[in-house]
Structure formats: structure tokens, C-alpha cells
Amino acid sequence: RKEVEQDPGPFNVPEGATVAFNCTYSNSASQSFFWYRQDCRKEPKLLMSVYSSGNEDGRFTAQLNRASQYISLLIRDSKLSDSATYLCVVNPIDSSYKLIFGSGTRLLVRP
């Protein structure tokens, strides 16, 4: 079983739509969680951290469910510029900076 699993997609949605991605992780002791965004042929960039209480940043909302070991990302009012691959990232050990990346979910926003 992979440490971090994501639906590869692609999710093909019209502008203005709401779309949600889920990600599951296998290590119940994982401490920190993040969503990174990666544009085609570019480097990953931090989109947002995922806090235990959930957090929102503009059109983006991240949630953590420790009991079920999954993380979600909700994007409201999708823009063409949101088209990218969204990587779910987990830090399995609190004492290090190690990050485990999922394979990513591809989002295509169409006009």
C-alpha cells in the first residue's frame, strides 16, 4: 500500500465549478499535512498547510480527518489558472523534515 494515495484524475470542470480532492495516508502517526501545487513542467510549490481544525485560504479549503486518515482540498469558483496537479504531502515523523508526496491529482478547468 502506498504511503500517500490520490486519485490521479484528471478532473475536468468548467470555470466557476466547485471541485474536491481527497487523499489518504497509511501512517496513523503522521503529524503534518500539506497541499502542493505543480504546474506542467514546473516545480512544486506550497499551496497550503492542513491544520487539525481545518483551514481556509480564499477559495481553497483544506480539511483533515485523522480518524479516517484522509485529507481533502476544496476549490470553489474554479479559475482557468487553477489548472494544475495538486500533490498531497504528509510528514510521517514529527522529528524530521521528511515529506512524502502523493502522485498528484490533475485538475483541468475549461472555459
Partner 1 sequence: EAGVAQSPRYKIIEKRQSVAFWCNPISGHATLYWYQQILGQGPKLLIQFQNNGVVDDSQLPKDRFSAERLKGVDSTLKIQPAKLEDSAVYLCASSLGTTGNLFTDTQYFGPGTRLTVL
- Can you give the binding site for partner 1, defined by CB under 8 A? 4, 8, 31-32, 34, 42-46, 49, 51, 87, 89, 91, 96-104
Q: Which residue number, 71 or 102, has a Cβ lying nearer to partner 1?
A: 102
Distances (CA, A) of 80 to 11, 12, 21: 13, 11, 17
Q: Which residue number, 15 or 45, has a Cβ lying nearer to partner 1?
A: 45
Grid cell for residue 100: 512524502
Q: Which of 98, 77, 83 is nearest to 37 (CA)?
A: 83
Q: Which residue number, 14 or 96, has a Cβ lying nearer to partner 1?
A: 96
Smallest gap from Cβ 54 to partner 1, in A, equals 14
Q: Cβ neighbours of residue 76 under 8 Å, at least 6 residues apart?
A: 18, 59, 60, 61
Q: Which residue number, 45 or 110, has a Cβ lying nearer to partner 1?
A: 45
Smallest gap from Cβ 81 to partner 1, in A, equals 19
Smallest gap from Cβ 11 to partner 1, in A, equals 16
Q: Is-contact 101 45, C-beta < 8 A?
A: no
